[in-house]
């Protein structure tokens, strides 16, 4: 029967070949034979992170840290706990983990970026939480809102007048809550579906919502993502760092744009280089599923083989 060290070596080989599930199983065998080895838990945690199995990754980091590992392994376990706990929504623990990594290894730029990102996010959250909106209890809704919720009126009223009244009231309510809507001129002459310019910068919330666009709207989402102006990209991600969900959508969109001839390979490469200059790029590029990167590389290989190495170098 193989020894723990032999199972570990085989696990390392599988990991190097990006066979993360196989590697995790081999590390499991090694742990069975050597349950007090924190390196094995650290290695398996990284496998689970690459598989987006955040819960198992988190549990392995906790088990490894409980074994009092030496400084280097502790730093790796803490960083991996930070990544997994962040994905699970444990932002306080994630921040604490990254801060501890920085204390142990001040040169760890990835941990420093994550720490600063979460710290800034917490400050913004506390700042927004300070503004409380008073809640007023009433016996009934104001007339204009009552019409929206429970429309009333003579049953013989024409559908046209009924819908017109509701639309007017709805528009008034929407304007009161969210600001004035587009002018009638804009409504009567909508932009073409492939025109994706913004009158104002899109919100991060809106861009993240594109990641869950239904298939019939996915193409427009792809076009929107690759058409973002450089100034918009810098404004969105220059301080907070590149969002991993949005980055994965960008890789999907880039594959589409190259394959369908919507964008040239060189223009996509230029955009990707811009993202690579922004905070957290190294983190999100490592977290990006290999299948998405492989599809992009295949599209580049077919369209412009000479650019393939340039693309791959950004992910190395």
pLDDT of residue 210: 62
What does the DSSP 8-state code read for residue 307? Answer: G
Cα–Cα distance, 58 to 61 (Å, whole number) = 5
Handedness of CA 238, 242, 246, 251 (dihedral sign): positive
According to the model, what pLDDT value does residue 211 have?
58
**pLDDT for residue 53:** 86
CA distance 122 to 240: 12
Q: What's the CA gap between 75 and 107, in Å, rounded?
A: 12
Phi, psi for 78 (deg, rounded to 5): -65, -40
Point out the residues of the chain with pLDDT beneath 70. 125-216
In terms of Cβ atoms closer than 10 Å to its own Cβ (0-12, 13-18, 19+), residue 196 is middle
pLDDT at 191: 42
CATH topology of domain 4-126: 1.25.40
**Distance, CA of 253 to CA of 256 (rounded, Å):** 5
Alpha helix stretches (DSSP H) within the chain = 4-16, 20-33, 38-50, 54-65, 71-87, 91-104, 109-129, 143-149, 159-178, 184-188, 204-209, 215-226, 230-237, 244-259, 265-276, 281-287, 290-303, 308-315
> What pLDDT, on the 0 to 100 scale, is given for residue 172?
52
Q: What is the pLDDT of residues 78-137, one digit of tens each?
A: 999 999 998 888 888 999 999 999 999 999 999 999 999 988 887 776 665 555 555 555
pLDDT of res. 108: 92
Residue 123's pLDDT is: 78
* Domain boundary assignment for the chain: 4-126, 137-153+161-180, 204-315
How much is the pLDDT for 140? 55
Q: Dihedral of CA 22/34/7/72: which sign? A: positive
């Amino acid at each position: 029967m193989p020894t723990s060290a032999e199972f570990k070596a085989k696990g390392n080989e599988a990991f190097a070949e990006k066979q993360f599930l196989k590697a995790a199983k081999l590390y499991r065998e090694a742990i069975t034979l050597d349950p007090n080895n924190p390196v094995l838990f650290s290695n398996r945690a990284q496998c689970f992170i690459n598989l987006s199995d955040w819960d198992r990754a988190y549990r392995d980091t906790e088990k490894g840290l409980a074994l009092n590992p030496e400084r280097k392994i502790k730093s790796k376990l803490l960083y991996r706990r930070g990544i997994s706990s962040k994905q699970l929504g444990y932002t306080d623990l994630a921040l604490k983990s990254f801060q501890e990594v920085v204390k142990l290894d001040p040169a760890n730029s990835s941990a420093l970026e994550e720490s600063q990102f979460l710290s800034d996010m917490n400050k913004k959250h506390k700042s927004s939480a300070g503004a409380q909106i008073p809640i007023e209890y009433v016996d009934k809704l104001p007339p204009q809102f009552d019409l929206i919720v429970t429309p009333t009126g003579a049953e013989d009223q024409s559908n046209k007048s009924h819908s017109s009244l509701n639309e007017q009231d709805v528009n008034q309510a929407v304007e009161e809550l969210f600001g004035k809507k587009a002018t009638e001129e804009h409504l009567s002459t909508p932009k073409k579906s492939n025109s994706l310019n913004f009158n104002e910068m899109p919100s991060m919330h809106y861009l993240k919502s594109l990641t869950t666009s239904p298939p019939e709207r996915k193409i427009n989402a792809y076009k929107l993502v690759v058409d973002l102006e450089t100034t918009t990209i810098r404004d969105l991600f220059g301080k907070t760092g590149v969002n991993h969900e949005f980055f994965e959508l960008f890789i999907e969109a880039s594959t589409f744009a190259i394959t369908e001839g919507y964008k040239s390979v060189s223009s996509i490469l230029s955009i990707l280089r811009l993202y690579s200059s922004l905070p957290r790029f190294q983190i999100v590029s490592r977290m990006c599923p290999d299948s998405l990167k492989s599809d992009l590389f295949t599209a580049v290989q077919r369209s412009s083989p000479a650019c393939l190495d340039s693309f791959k170098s950004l992910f190395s």
